[in-house]
Each structure stands twice: as structure tokens, then as C-alpha cells.
């Protein structure tokens, strides 16, 4: 896992001292993503930068990596991620006459493009199983390709300029170049307030994101985007027992592939079905005893207060799983003061690069990863299992399912209305933005075929599953990538294996709920590995701190913001509405989001154009 960046300018020689300093500055912003090594490659209109976190082939695999023809570079690659089937691809390519000089997956990707991608890059990237984002420069064609994995596990941004573009794993790499302006317009603010992504756009004016499953081609003639993968209808014909067996086969194969690393590896264990099944399979197939880690809070289990999202504490279930499957387990216990530490909050904002927050979830995840990084360099995590197998409560709430919007949204414009000036609320029209994004997403949903297509509920659940995988999951994947890579920790997500996603997405909703519960297929496929208490446990969300000290500290900081007339956010605020937020109970999430937006505008010196 690494950080990549670059600069293409077809009307400029980027070998000048000034341009070299700019690409060095861009590369330096990726130091946390790649603490082990750095490199740049510059020739004429192209400058590529790379920071490396060494996972496979520690001594080899340095980047930028070139493929030589007639004594000079023909292809130049900067790559981040993991290609889990690189060993099979390497054998195939060697059989076709390719000679390898490293044992890294990076070289396999490079030679795959040389062999299969010279006519159409979609052919080469379709061979890859993994999580990745990379840039490939063709010196003869003077063409850049930006390529992102199917689910968008690894981020990749770009910023068009007059004669080319800037790109980077994170916005901060692009913003380190003097050609990029940190500005937010009305669309960026709508994106921030709604928490629903407009695929391809970002909160920064002029900055774009390579969409999952897409390739961006850059030539002197301009920038073009093409898709190489999308969710489709598979016409699923397997019965429930066959489907359960196939899910188990795919999980076993996926986790075995993702255990490959030349550095210490662990799992994130919450005591829920997803992480427990993943940990149990990892323990079964690992050659060494698996380490597992869980997050906890001071006094959490002893003073636990059950609620709709957290009916039971994680701790007892975590311990049961760790004992049954034999992991070397560690609990990371956090306090309210740690979560409110200004240095931690600044670090999470800098890691995210965006004014999007999940509040104490972000801070606790960052602290958990900081502790894990002292022991492991790679961690397996359970993201996408809920979106894929139907784990969230909204999947099973008919009122939410039937609403003509994203089913997880409670009130389309409540957040904007709760603290912004009425005139700005009207101008932004966040409900209109959300409806537009919803209609666009629905237009993408592949039509259901076969007998299930006659059932209106099956058709609607196909839509809900698609929305969850393409509009909800990306936020979680982005958070996990940013918090982990800020500390040089690679997090792998086995439930995002595209073969598993394709298969389960294609199954009828009746299969996914055959036992009238959430995640029926996953439960049936892994029940033999787990304690019965975990098999029967009701879905619980990622834990949040219940210590009232945290809320008190949060409200104190919010009150200070409202009294600061020079605050960057002050021109947008309605003090009357914002004080109502302060005085109300159970407003932690709203306060967190307002404070994060204020910190973002200040720390990134963002100019508002609304």
C-alpha cells in the first residue's frame, strides 16, 4: 500500500527546477501512506511521484516502476494497493514470455498492461483481483491512464488544468501544487451537508474523483472516462443450499488470498457476525497464530446503556470468538479525553482531507489503528458485509424501504436547516440535490430478470442493495482507508472481493432473508465456525462512547464557536438555530459535523464561493 501523485502538462517541460520542487512537495504529502520509501520519475510533460508502504517483496518493488523497450522506458507505473491474484497472473505472463525482475505485484500489473492492455486497458485491468489505484504513463503515446478498483476501496483524485491535470491518492497531494486552489462552491457544500456522494465529484471546486470501476484517459486532446466494471444482473438460478455453499467457497478463497503478506497481519474483531466469520476463517488458513484487535471505551461494558443501534456491548462476544478460534487478542481501551484531544482531532481531519466526519467514530478508529500499527502492518476488516448481505435495519423496515429516497436518510434537509441562515438553506436546496442524486442512482440499477422480477418487493430490494453498495459503502471505505493509511497501516476488506459482490448482489432478496433475519446467507455459510451466541447476535453498529464527559467537552467547544465572530463558518451560521442545536439533547452528530466543517475551512484555508 502506498501513496501516488503526479502532474501532466502537455505544453511544459516538468524537468525544470520549479516543477521538480512542486512534484517533490506533492509526493511529500503522501509520507504517511508510504513511510518506507519514496521516488519520482520526470520526463518532459510527465512527472510521477510515489511513497511506499512495503508489504510484498520488501527489498524489490520500488516505484515508479518502468517497463523498458529498446533501452528506454516505454511504460511508467505508480501503483497503490494489492493485487491478490498476482501469483497466478505472473505464471500466465511468464508463459507468454515475460521476464520478471522482482517478486512484487506491481511488476505483474505493469506487465499485464504491456501484454493485454496495449489495445484496450480494460482488458488488462479486468484480469486483476484486488484493491488498487494506479497511474500508467505511456511514453510513446504520451498518454496517462488513471485506474481505480471496482468498489473504490483505494482513493484516486484528479484536477484538470489547462494543458493536462494533477492527480493524487488524496486531495492534499493535489493541493500542494500551486495550480490547485482550495475552494468550495455551492455544489461542494451540498455534498458536505448531505453526506451523499455525487460519484466523480468532490467538495473542492474543480477537483474530481476517479469513479470505482473506471479508467480516466488523459491525452493532449483532453480527458475521457470509461467504465471497465459495473454491477449487473446475473440471472441467479442457484437454490438456497447451493448459494450458501458458494458463499462459503468464495469467502474461503478470498481470505486465503488476502492473508498473503511479508509483514505482520491481524484482524479487526467486533464480536459481530461479519468480523467474527472473517477472523475465524483467517485463523483457520493462517500459517501463524492470528492477532486480533477490538476497540473499547473506559467503563463501556460496566455502564452500558442499550439502544436501537447498540442492543448489546461488543466485549463479551469478542472474548468468546477470540477464545474459540484461538487468536492472540488485544482490546484497545479509549477514554473521552483521548477522543477530544485536539491533536487527535487535527490528525483525523488531516487524514480525511474532507469536511466529512462520523464524529467519535473517526477519532476512535484513528486511535485504534495507531495502537495496532505498533504490532501489525496489515489488518483485515469486515466492510461491505452489511451492504452486501442486508445487515442494516433499514433493509428490514418496510417504511424505510418504500420511501422514495435513500432508505437510510431520515430527513433530507434537517442538518442544513438546523444551523445555516434561512436564505442559504433555500439557495442550497439540499433536498433537491438529494433527489437528483437519488434519481441518477436509480437509473444505474441493473434490471432484475428471472422469476423474481415479477415481485415488486424483489425489484425494490434490488434498488436498495445497489444504493447501499454504490452510495453508502464508499463513505465507509473512504473513512477506513484514510484513518489507516494516515498511520501506515494497510486495511484489506475481504467482503469487497468483486467475485463475492457479483454473486451475492445477483441473489434474490428471498435468499438473503431465507431464515427471516438479516444476513441469512452469511450466517448459514459460517455458523459452524462461531459460538452460537455470535451466530444469534442481533446486528450492532460500530460502538460510540457513552461517557457524558465527551458530550460536555464537545458542547463547550461548540459554544466557543458560536461566540467567535471571526470563525470561518460565522458568515453562514444562524446563531438562533445553532443555539437551539446546542440546547437540545442527542445532537452529538450534528455538533460534530459543524465543528469539523469549521476546522476544515480554517486548516485548509478554503475559500467559500457560495
In the numeric block, which cell numbers belong to residue 476? 465507509
Task: Please list the alpha-helical segments (H only) found in 152-303.
Answer: 171-175, 186-194, 240-258, 273-285
In the numeric block, which cell numbers belong to residue 407? 432508505
Cα 409-580-340 angle, rounded to 5 deg: 75
- Residue 353: closest CA among 477, 479, 200, 187: 479
Task: Map grid coordinates 417504511 to a residue.
Answer: 399
Cα 236-238-240 angle, rounded to 5 deg: 115
Task: Map grid coordinates 486483476 to a residue.
Answer: 128
Contact of 390 with 398, CB cutoff 8 Å: no
Report the C-alpha gap between 141 and 560 in whole angstroms. Answer: 56
Task: Map grid coordinates 444505474 to a residue.
Answer: 444
Helices 456-467 and 430-444: crossing angle in degrees, nearest 10, is 110
Sequence-distant (6+) residues with CB within 8 A of 68 are: 74
In the numeric block, which cell numbers belong to residue 392? 442494516
In the numeric block, which cell numbers belong to residue 184? 468550495
Distances (CA, A) of 494 to 77, 507, 511, 525, 529: 25, 19, 21, 15, 17
Task: Map grid coordinates 464480536 to a residue.
Answer: 271
Contact of 422 with 578, CB cutoff 8 Å: no
Contact of 483 with 369, CB cutoff 8 Å: yes
208 beta partners:
158, 201
Contact of 203 with 355, CB cutoff 8 Å: yes
Task: Map grid coordinates 466543517 to a residue.
Answer: 597
49 beta partners:
5, 40
Q: How far apart are the first and last CA of the chain?
A: 37
- Residue 350 half-sphere exposure toward CB, CA atoms < 13 A: 14
- Residue 378: closest CA among 229, 485, 285, 462: 485
Catalogue the long-range contacts made by 598-604 (C-beta closer than 8 Å, 24 or more residues apart). 598/561, 598/567, 598/568, 598/569, 599/345, 599/346, 599/349, 599/355, 600/349, 600/354, 600/355, 601/184, 601/355, 601/568, 601/569, 602/567, 602/568, 603/346, 603/349, 603/350, 604/175, 604/182
Report the C-alpha gap between 533 and 514 in whole angstroms. Answer: 20
218 beta partners:
144, 223
Element of type H or E holding 131: strand 130-138
Residue 64, preceding peptide bond in cis (omega within 30° of 0): yes
* Active-site residue set: 2
Helices 575-583 and 548-562: crossing angle in degrees, nearest 10, is 170
In the numeric block, which cell numbers belong to residue 361? 467514530
Amino acid at each position: 500500500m502506498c501513496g501516488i501523485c503526479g502532474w501532466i502538462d502537455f505544453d511544459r517541460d516538468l524537468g525544470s527546477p520549479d516543477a521538480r520542487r512542486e512534484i517533490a512537495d506533492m509526493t511529500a504529502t503522501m509520507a504517511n501512506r508510504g513511510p518506507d520509501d519514496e521516488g519520482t520519475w520526470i520526463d518532459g510533460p510527465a512527472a510521477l511521484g510515489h511513497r511506499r508502504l512495503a508489504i510484498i517483496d520488501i527489498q524489490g518493488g520500488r516505484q515508479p516502476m518502468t517497463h523498458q523497450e529498446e533501452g528506454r522506458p516505454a511504460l511508467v507505473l505508480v501503483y497503490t494497493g494489492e493485487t491478490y491474484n498476482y501469483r497466478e497472473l505472473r505464471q500466465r505472463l511468464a508463459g507468454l514470455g515475460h521476464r520478471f525482475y522482482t517478486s512484487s505485484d506491481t511488476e505483474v500489473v505493469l506487465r499485464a498492461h504491456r501484454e493485454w492492455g496495449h489495445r484496450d486497458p480494460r482488458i488488462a485491468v479486468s484480469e486483476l483481483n484486488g484493491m488498487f489505484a494506479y497511474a500508467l504513463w505511456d511514453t510513446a503515446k504520451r498518454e496517462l491512464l488513471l485506474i481505480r478498483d471496482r468498489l473504490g476501496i483505494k482513493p484516486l483524485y484528479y484536477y484538470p488544468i489547462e494543458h493536462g491535470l494533477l492527480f493524487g491518492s488524496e486531495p492534499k497531494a493535489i493541493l500542494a501544487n500551486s495550480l490547485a486552489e482550495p475552494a468550495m462552491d455551492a455544489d461542494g457544500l451540498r455534498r458536505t451537508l448531505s453526506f451523499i456522494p455525487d460519484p466523480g465529484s468532490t467538495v473542492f471546486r474543480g477537483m474530481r474523483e476517479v469513479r470505482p470501476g473506471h479508467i480516466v484517459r488523459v491525452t493532449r486532446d483532453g480527458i475521457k472516462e470509461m467504465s471497465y466494471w459495473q454491477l449487473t444482473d446475473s440471472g441467479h438460478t442457484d437454490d438456497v443450499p447451493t448459494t450458501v455453499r458458494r458463499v462459503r467457497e468464495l469467502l474461503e478463497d478470498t481470505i486465503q488470498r488476502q492473508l498473503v503478506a511479508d509483514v505482520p497481519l491481524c484482524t479487526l474483531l467486533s464480536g459481530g457476525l461479519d468480523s467474527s466469520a472473517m477472523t475465524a476463517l483467517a485463523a483457520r488458513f493462517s500459517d501463524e497464530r492470528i492477532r486480533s484487535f477490538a476497540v473499547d471505551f473506559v467503563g463501556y461494558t460496566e455502564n452500558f446503556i442499550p439502544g436501537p443501534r447498540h442492543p448489546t456491548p461488543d466485549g463479551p462476544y469478542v472474548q468468546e470468538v477470540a477464545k474459540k478460534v484461538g487468536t492472540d487478542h488485544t482490546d484497545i481501551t479509549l477514554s473521552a479525553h483521548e477522543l477530544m484531544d485536539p491533536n487527535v482531532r487535527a490528525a483525523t481531519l488531516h487524514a480525511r482531507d474532507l469536511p466529512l466526519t462520523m464524529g467519535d467514530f473517526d477519532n476512535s478508529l484513528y486511535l485504534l489503528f495507531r495502537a495496532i500499527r505498533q504490532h501489525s502492518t496489515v489488518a483485515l476488516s469486515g466492510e461491505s458485509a452489511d451492504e452486501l448481505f442486508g445487515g442494516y435495519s433499514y433493509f428490514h423496515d418496510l417504511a424505510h424501504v418504500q420511501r422514495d429516497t435513500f432508505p437510510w436518510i431520515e430527513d433530507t434537509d434537517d442538518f442544513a436547516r438546523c444551523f445555516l441562515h434561512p436564505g442559504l438553506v433555500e439557495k442550497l436546496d439540499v433536498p433537491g440535490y438529494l433527489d437528483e442524486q437519488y434519481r441518477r442512482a436509480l437509473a444505474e440499477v441493473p434490471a432484475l430478470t428471472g422469476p423474481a422480477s415479477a415481485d415488486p418487493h424483489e425489484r425494490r430490494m434490488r434498488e436498495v442493495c445497489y444504493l447501499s453498495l454504490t452510495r453508502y459503502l464508499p463513505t465507509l471505505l473512504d473513512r477506513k482507508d484514510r484513518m489507516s493509511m494516515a498511520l501506515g497501516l494497510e486495511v484489506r476488506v475481504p467482503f469487497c472481493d468483486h467475485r463475492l459482490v457479483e454473486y451475492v448482489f445477483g441473489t434474490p432478496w428471498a435468499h438473503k432473508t431465507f431464515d427471516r433475519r438479516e444476513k441469512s446467507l452469511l450466517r448459514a455459510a459460517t455458523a459452524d465456525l462461531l459460538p452460537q451466541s455470535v451466530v444469534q447476535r442481533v446486528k450492532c453498529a460500530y460502538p460510540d462512547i457513552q461517557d457524558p464527559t465527551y458530550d460536555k467537552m464537545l458542547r463547550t467547544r461548540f459554544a466557543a464557536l458560536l461566540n467567535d465572530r471571526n470563525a470561518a463558518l460565522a458568515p453562514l451560521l444562524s446563531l438562533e438555530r445553532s443555539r437551539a442545536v446546542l440546547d437540545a439533547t442527542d445532537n452529538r452528530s450534528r455538533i460534530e459535523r459543524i465543528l469539523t466543517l469549521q476546522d476544515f475551512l480554517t486548516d485548509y484555508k478554503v475559500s467559500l464561493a457560495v
